[in-house]
Amino acid sequence: MKYIDPDGRQTVPRSYWQKFTLKTMFDLVATNGVTKCNEFVPRFLKGLGDKVFNDIMPSGSPDANTLYSSWTQNPNLVNLNELVGDAGNVQERAAYVANSYANQGYLVLAAASDGGGHVAVVAPQVLNFDCDPSVNGFTGSGQDGHQGRSGPVVLRDFPVFLQAGTHTGRVPPGWAFSRELFDAGRVIFFLYKPTEGE
């Protein structure tokens, strides 16, 4: 696998993650069966500056499937699923690499392929699970599996996703994307790496 060295100036400041809490994301909580992941991602990107936003977001008000389609053709995004190659469990290896980049502070996005209809941001693994509505087993105590105290397992406990959807906030993989999408290898991870010369 070829290692991609993102532009170190494009990291997400640790303090930026603290701006996205249940209180600040309350308007994105799903209501009447309507989820708002495609509203959350632009909000998150806008706070990182116009360049990041313009490098990633297509024009208009795209839905999640349009975001996925545009990201697959975006020269500023590296498809980590393609990067890891096709040997072994590609989904698990791509998730592991995405988690590693997010932990280093790089911007990593995730999207469901083939009409899956969901997008999210991969968050650093040190963040506690915290979402609305809450899910049984989310303690918020720092003892959850993704923090390494309960034998964390890739695609069970990490990566941590920040999202709006059925569960809005910081969630484990199975609550961000369905287990069926992961099992089918349809969760695609994208690393932000601005094109050279810009």
pTM, full prediction: 0.89
What one-character DSSP code corresponds to residue 17? H
Q: Does residue 164 sit within a domain?
A: yes
Half-sphere exposure of 67 (CA within 13 A, CB side): 29
Predicted local distance difference test score (pLDDT) of residue 1: 44
Read off the tokens for 174: 């199975």
Q: Does residue 142 sit within a domain?
A: yes
Predicted local distance difference test score (pLDDT) of residue 32: 73
Cα–Cα distance measured from residue 183 to residue 197, given in angstroms and rounded to the nearest whole number: 38
Q: Does residue 151 sit within a domain?
A: yes
Q: Does residue 181 sit within a domain?
A: yes
Cα–Cα distance measured from residue 36 to residue 182, given in angstroms and rounded to the nearest whole number: 21
Predicted local distance difference test score (pLDDT) of residue 198: 46
Cα–Cα distance measured from residue 10 to residue 102, given in angstroms and rounded to the nearest whole number: 12
Predicted local distance difference test score (pLDDT) of residue 27: 87
Q: Does residue 13 sit within a domain?
A: no
Domain that holds residue 55: 34-192
Contact by Cβ (8 Å): 37, 43: no
pLDDT tens-place values along the chain, 198 residues long? 445 566 656 789 889 999 998 888 888 887 777 778 999 999 999 999 999 999 999 888 899 999 999 999 999 999 999 999 888 899 999 999 999 999 999 999 999 998 889 999 999 988 888 888 776 666 666 666 666 656 677 888 889 999 998 889 998 898 899 889 999 999 999 999 887 644
Predicted local distance difference test score (pLDDT) of residue 8: 59
Q: Kindly give the pairing relationship between strand 160-163 and strand 77-79.
A: unpaired
Cα–Cα distance measured from residue 71 to residue 113, given in angstroms and rounded to the nearest whole number: 11
Q: Does residue 198 sit within a domain?
A: no
The position carrying tokens 């069926």 is: 180
CATH number at residue 107: 3.90.1720
- Count of domains for the chain: 1
Q: Does residue 28 sit within a domain?
A: no
